[in-house]
Amino acid sequence: MTAAGLPCSREEQIGQYAALRRERRDGYARWLLLIKELRVRHGVSILEAERLALSNPHRRRWVESQINSHEQCRKKALSHIRHNGSNTLIQREGDAFKFRINVR
């Protein structure tokens, strides 16, 4: 929204999300802002925005590391698996909570 209460243009929204992402230090908040930015930029669903984000090898390694080392991220990964079924982008490997990103 603009100061006058009007909706922002698509480009303004993308810029706002990118600026907020650069300001944040919390990895999860930055991830959510990236997904929002990709949704606006490409006009896609949350799942497709996550797929786009994870197509970057650096980002994919970072997400795998976060899932495998932080309890909150692990819980969100399990929730992603439950809610997306066969379309899931994450695979659980064994009982040790090792996760692997599965981008088609």
User: Higher model confidence: residue 62 or residue 99?
Assistant: 62
Give residue 66's pLDDT.
87
Residues 62 and 104 in one domain: yes
**Residue of higher predicted confidence among 99 and 103:** 103
Cα dihedral 36/37/41/46 (nearest 10):
-30
- 1 and 34 fall within a common domain: yes
Identify the pLDDT of residue 39.
96
Domain assignment present for 3:
yes
**Overall number of domains in the chain:** 2
Same domain, 61 and 104: yes
Model pLDDT, residue 69: 86
Does 87 have pLDDT greater than 90? no
Gap between the Cα atoms of 40 and 42, Å rounded = 6
- For residues 41 and 86, which has the higher predicted lDDT (pLDDT)? 41
The pLDDT of residue 36? 95
7 and 34 share a domain? yes
3-state SS, residue 9: coil
Chain segment 45-59, per-residue pLDDT in tens = 999 999 999 999 899
Is residue 52 included in any domain, yes or no?
A: no
Contact of 49 with 38, CB cutoff 8 Å = yes
| Confidence bin at 2 (pLDDT 50/70/90) | low
Q: What is the pTM of this model?
A: 0.80
Q: Are residues 71 and 28 in the same domain?
A: no
Range of the domain at 23: 1-43
Is residue 104 domain-resident? Answer: yes
37 found inside a domain: yes
Residue 77 domain-assigned (yes or no)? yes
